[in-house]
Amino acid sequence: MKDKDRFIRIWERARRRFASWFAAQLTLMLIIGVVTYIFMLSLGIPNAALIGTIAGLTEIVPILGPIIGAVIAALIVVSYNAQLIWWVLLGFLIIQQLENNLLVPMIMKKALSINPIFILLAVMVGGTLAGVLGIITILPILVLGSEITKGLRD
């Protein structure tokens, strides 16, 4: 097989897997946004849609995004009813734990065909090596590395 053909095949497979990764990220953002919205509605918070939207959007940034979303939600809730702040923070904590320990591994495994334990380890290593940037980029880098390795073996 010519090098050009091999490169094109590797690139196409990597592109498809990148698209799957991006779709998985959007799925996680949507789930977190909707769950947060429902939780805020259950507390009777009038800006539930705004808080859910913020929580979903900040989800794109691992670790810091959910913290930023929780802080913004807390500020909004304090202006409405300061007594609910602890419920809001507890809700964010529970939602994030469920996401990090259940949703991310399941959704990313399906999207990337990578073992969920390996995904969690990779995110931890990425964070240790390069901070937030490492956390955000480690899975796409793994996908690219995986496809290059497969392509060279073929």
pLDDT surpassing 70 at residue 111: yes
- Model confidence over 14-25: pLDDT tens digits? 889 889 988 999
Confidence of residue 149 (pLDDT cuts 50, 70, 90): confident
pLDDT surpassing 90 at residue 6: no
pLDDT surpassing 90 at residue 152: no
- Model confidence over 30-52: pLDDT tens digits? 999 999 999 999 999 999 999 99
CA-CA distance, 147 to 143, in Å (whole number)? Answer: 6
